[in-house]
Amino acid sequence: QVQLVESGGGLVQPGGSLRLSCAASGNIFSINAMGWYRQAPGKQRELVAAATSRGSTNYADSVKGRFTISRDNAKNTVYLQMNSLKPEDTAVYYCNFYPREYGVWGQGTQVTVSS
């Protein structure tokens, strides 16, 4: 049974930075690609970044150059470093497997970018 626990969100001013963490339980983390997703009220959930177990990464156009995804397979943890944050980045952020998402999502972590 896989459990996904996100942390690191909060309130930050435009232009600020946050680092999100996702701890995944289970024994399949190291052989699967992982992604960070976000969902704002009234909006569809979207993929913002993904990292394969071999280290390749991809990003949504809206966050390229500002966000960096990384992973530590030994710790079953994936990170999202977010710099130059904008109000439109405000959302609940979730981690999950990519591209085939696990059916049980974590609680997510709220990121609010506001002055």
Tell me the per-residue pLDDT of 59-93, one tens digit each, with 9 for 90 and over: 999 999 999 999 988 888 999 999 999 999 999 99
pLDDT band for 32, please (50, 70, 90 cuts).
confident
Report the C-alpha gap between 27 and 58 in whole angstroms: 24
Q: Is the pLDDT of residue 30 over 90?
A: no
Which segments within 8-90 are labelled E, that is strand? 10-12, 18-24, 33-39, 46-51, 57-59, 67-72, 77-82
Least confident of 8-12, 22-26, 42-46, 106-110: 22-26
